[in-house]
Chain A
Amino acid sequence: MATEFAFPDTAAKGSTAAQEFQTEAMSLSIGPSHPSTHGVLRLQMELDGETVTKCDPILGYLHRGDEKIAENMTYNQFVPYTDRLDYLAPLANNVAYATAVERLAKLEVPPRCQAIRVIVSELARVSSHLLGLGAYGIDVGAWTVFLYTFTEREKLYKLFEELTGARFTTSYTRIGGVARDIPDGWLDRVNAFCDQFLPILDEILQLLTRNKVFMDRTVGIGVITKEQAIAYGLTGPNLRGSGVPLDLRKDKPYLGYEQYEFDVPVGVSGDCYDRYLVRGEEMKQSIRIVKQAVAKFPAGDWYATDAKKIFAPPKAKILTKMEELIQNFMLVTEGPQMPAGEVYFEAENPKGALGFFVVSRGGGVPWRLKIRSPSFCNLSILPKLCVGALVSDVVSILGSLDFVMGECDR
């Protein structure tokens, strides 16, 4: 333009009017106990008006020293601690941990055990995503979703309770197997749940997918590009929401995931809305996997029968047979015997790739156990992502990253 105008409006940067209306920088601390931080996360932010200019997440409020604890107990004793990582999907954590340690022992669990583990992992994924979705709805002002998703989670909890004896802290796997075989008729009830769940899930998603308010709060907000997602080590739905089709179940199959047919949903723009869509679709795919696993559920052993130094024999045998009694005694006092070595295994958990790096010097106790928690890595992008966003967007971004502090802080 040829002529320069002196804009009276404040948006015109550099004009005297704009300087007059410049707000003072303000620091704001959200959390550690705030509904939108989903646990005990604190965000120390600096604001310019409504815009965030700096965001410093402060972690560690839930740090319990799980890695230290792991160095001081046998492999099986650590299983209950894995429940408390991502406590919305304890079953999936149990499975990831057990699989990692079995990799160290070069132990293959039988097909039936693998199928049980696949079913519980996928149900855990549904359970976790349901909570993530419900809580996200609340974050952006859609309360109803939460009520629907919790009704469904309750049904899942009933199934978990029947299988493991606990609703929440399941501690279901053992190194080399699972705690017990599935109860009679459980698979039918799983199938029945899947059948009734799909139409309800569609109903739940309909509450949000074309909801004007929800879209206003999420579309184009918190955009993570492909390159950024990879550079910050994002995994799981957050990475796939940015359009990277990485799913360890497909790309690095474990537990026989290669026998199941399922699709990996990916986002296009990498914003909060895409991450929401990816999670919604993932639940459908999980149900698809569960139905396949139930349909061709293998017979046979549900634990590694050939691993005498790793998996305890059934209780009836312990109480009646001498050798089994000794075996059980050694397992309890000394722990499952592992060869020396280093192993790193990542499982595709609801929140992303949950990795266990196990360093063994032989014996029943790990020398070092590192937990690579997906929430920790996913959150590390916050200082970058929040800058330039509005305060209300921060709430939306936090919800869309779907993290769990129990896992982040370990």
Chain B
Amino acid sequence: MPAPVDVSAVIKQSFPQLVERASADHPAFSAPAGDVPAVLAFLRDSHGYDLLTDLTAIDNGEDATPRFTVVYHVFSTTAHTYLRLTADCSDDRKPSIASVTSLWPGADWHEREVFDMFGITFDGHPDMRRILMWEGYPYHPLRKEFPLAGIETPLPDIEVSEETGTKVLPAPMAGGPFVTSSGEINMAKAEPRAKDESWNEKKEKPL
């Protein structure tokens, strides 16, 4: 079934708890975390949004509440329209949300990636493992408190790291000029003079 022209009205009628979300392009709605599978199933089965094209999350900042927002983009292969659905995770410490793998098997890897990068667990996911980082990696790199350069961690291969003592080191650029730390997004403020990280005869480059 093709998506109706005014999908907003239809959705609001069926799910009055949904709030419209500011968006620069496609229709966007914010749903309570618990309703996500129901809303997406409704969109897929009754309005032709059959392709889950993207599933990701946003970290709204270390001090923000709610901290994590999960974002779904669905696409209708018949009407060729996108729709964005977002849901805030209720618990900022141990964020979790219901999995949609039962609706789209393709959500499997997306949810694993969000878990890997943000530490959001998806309830009902068949195989909640990391996907890009290795098993046993202790951090969630896309969280805002994680530094750009990385953090020293043991090598993925525990046997090798125990024997040789080698570790995964942060990028050598850490602390150098023009490298912003997380949350500091103004380039002018990250400039060496502003951070007073300029190196000269009097102040040597830290080793």
Binds B, one of A185-193, A226-234, A282-290: A226-234
User: Are B104 and A231 closer than 8 Å at their CB atoms?
Assistant: yes
When distances are taken between beta carbons in the complex, the residues of chain B under 8 Å from A364 are: 187
User: Are B80 and A376 closer than 8 Å at their CB atoms?
Assistant: no
A residues 55-104 in Cβ contact with B at 8 Å: 59-60, 63, 65, 67-69, 71-74, 103-104
CA of A68 to CA of B130, assembled, Å: 17
B residues 74-127 in Cβ contact with A at 8 Å: 75, 77, 80, 82, 84, 104-106, 108-109, 113, 117
User: Are A244 and B53 closer than 8 Å at their CB atoms?
Assistant: no
Contact of A60 among B51, B54, B105, B131 (CB under 8 A): B131
User: Chain A contact residues: over half helix, strand or loop, or mixed?
Assistant: mixed
Contact of B25 among A339, A343, A410 (CB under 8 A): A343
CA of A357 to CA of B130, assembled, Å: 22
CA of A237 to CA of B142, assembled, Å: 31
Q: Closest CB of chain A to B163's CB: distance in Å? A: 22
CA of A390 to CA of B106, assembled, Å: 23
Q: Which of B21, B25, B54 has the most CB of A within 10 A?
A: B54
CA of A409 to CA of B117, assembled, Å: 12
Indicate with 1 or 0, residue by residue over B22-66, a CB within 8 angstroms of chain A CB atoms.
Answer: 111110100000000000000000000011111010110000000
Q: Which of B56, B58, B180 has the most CB of A within 10 A?
A: B56
> How many residues of A are in contact with the other chain, CB < 8 A?
53
CA of A379 to CA of B106, assembled, Å: 10
Q: Closest CB of chain B to A341's CB: distance in Å? A: 4
A residues 113-168 in Cβ contact with B at 8 Å: none
A residues 232-254 in Cβ contact with B at 8 Å: 232-235, 244, 246, 251-252
CA of A359 to CA of B23, assembled, Å: 10
Q: Which of A65, A234, A335, A379 has the most CB of B within 10 A?
A: A65
- Chain A positions within 8 Å of B, measured between CB atoms, are 59-60, 63, 65, 67-69, 71-74, 103-104, 106, 230-235, 244, 246, 251-252, 333-335, 339, 341-346, 353, 355, 357, 359, 363-365, 367-368, 370, 372, 376-377, 379-381, 384, 409-410
Would you list the 9 A-B pairs with minimal beta carbon distance, nearest first? A233-B106, A341-B24, A232-B106, A60-B132, A251-B80, A380-B109, A365-B185, A370-B56, A372-B54
Would you mind naming 16 contact pairs between A and B with Cβ atoms under 8 Å apart?
A103-B25, A230-B50, A230-B77, A232-B105, A333-B191, A343-B23, A344-B73, A344-B84, A346-B53, A346-B75, A357-B56, A357-B73, A365-B185, A370-B71, A372-B56, A410-B132
- Chain B positions within 8 Å of A, measured between CB atoms, are 21-26, 28, 50-54, 56, 58-59, 71, 73, 75, 77, 80, 82, 84, 104-106, 108-109, 113, 117, 130-134, 141-142, 146, 148, 179-180, 182, 185-188, 191
